[in-house]
Structure 1
Amino acid sequence: MFTIESPLLKATIQAKGAELTSLVHKETGIDHMWSGDPAVWGKHSPILFPIVGSLKDNTYYYQGQAYQLSRHGFARELPFAVETHTADAITFLLKHSAETLKVFPFAFELRLTYTAIDDTLGLTYQVSNPAKEPMYFSIGAHPAFKVPLAPDTAYTDYYLEFDQPETAGRWHLETGGLLASASTPLLDNTNLLPLRKDLFYKDALVLKGLRSTQVTLRSASTAHGLRMDFPGFPFFGIWAAVDADFVCLEPWCGITDSAQTSQQLPEKEGINRLAGGESFRRTCTLQLF
Structure 2
Amino acid sequence: MSNTTLHNENVSVTLKSLGAELTSIKDASGTEYLWQGNPEFWSGQAPVLFPIVGCLRNGTATIGDNKTCSFGRHGLARRLEFDLVSSSDTSITYSLKANDKTKEQYPYDFELQMTYELTEHGVKVSHTVINHDSVVMPYCVGGHPAFNCPVFENESFEDYIVEFEQPENAACAQLTEDGLINNADRVSVLENEAVIPVRHSLFYKDALVFDALKSRKVALKHKKTGHGILVSFHDFDYLGVWSSANDGPFVALEPWSGTSTCSDEDDVFEHKRGVRFLQSGESETLSFSIEIL
Aligned position for 1:124: 126
Cα offset for 1:101? 0.5
Cα offset for 1:56? 0.5
1:220 to 219, 223, 226: 223
Aligned position for 1:41: 42
Deviation readout 1:41-70 (Å, 9 max, x if unpaired): 111100000100010011100222333211
Identical counterparts, % of pairs: 34
C-alpha root-mean-square deviation of aligned residues, in Å?
A: 1.1
Where 2:227 maps in the other structure, the secondary structure is strand
Q: Is the 8 A contact 1:150 1:222 kept in 2?
A: no
Aligned position for 2:55: 54
User: Normalization by structure 2: what TM-score?
Assistant: 0.96
Matched, 1:159 2:147: no
Q: Is the 8 A contact 2:93 2:116 kept in 1?
A: yes
- The whole-number CA distance in structure 1 between the counterparts of 2:263 and 2:177 is 9
Cα offset for 1:40? 1.4
- The whole-number CA distance in structure 2 between the counterparts of 1:117 and 1:64 is 44
Q: Is the 8 A contact 2:131 2:278 kept in 1?
A: yes
Q: Is the 8 A contact 2:67 2:107 kept in 1?
A: no
User: Normalization by structure 1: what TM-score?
Assistant: 0.97
Q: Which amino acid aligns with 1:263?
A: D
Q: Which amino acid aligns with 1:287?
A: E
1:173 to 172, 175, 181: 175
- The whole-number CA distance in structure 1 between the counterparts of 2:8 and 2:120 is 6
Q: Which amino acid aligns with 1:106?
A: Y
Structure 2: 5+ residue stretches without partners: none
Aligned position for 2:280: 276
1:198 to 198, 201, 211: 201
Cα offset for 1:246? 0.1
Cα offset for 1:266? 1.3
Aligned position for 2:192: 189
Deviation readout 1:116-160 (Å, 9 max, x if unpaired): 122121101110112231100010100000000123211111001
Structure 1: 5+ residue stretches without partners: none
- The whole-number CA distance in structure 2 between the counterparts of 1:138 and 1:201 is 26
Where 1:176 maps in the other structure, the secondary structure is coil
Q: Is the 8 A contact 1:32 1:146 kept in 2?
A: yes
- The whole-number CA distance in structure 2 between the counterparts of 1:155 and 1:204 is 17
Matched, 1:246 2:250: yes
- The whole-number CA distance in structure 2 between the counterparts of 1:259 and 1:283 is 28
Q: Is the 8 A contact 1:159 1:194 kept in 2?
A: yes
Aligned position for 2:97: 95
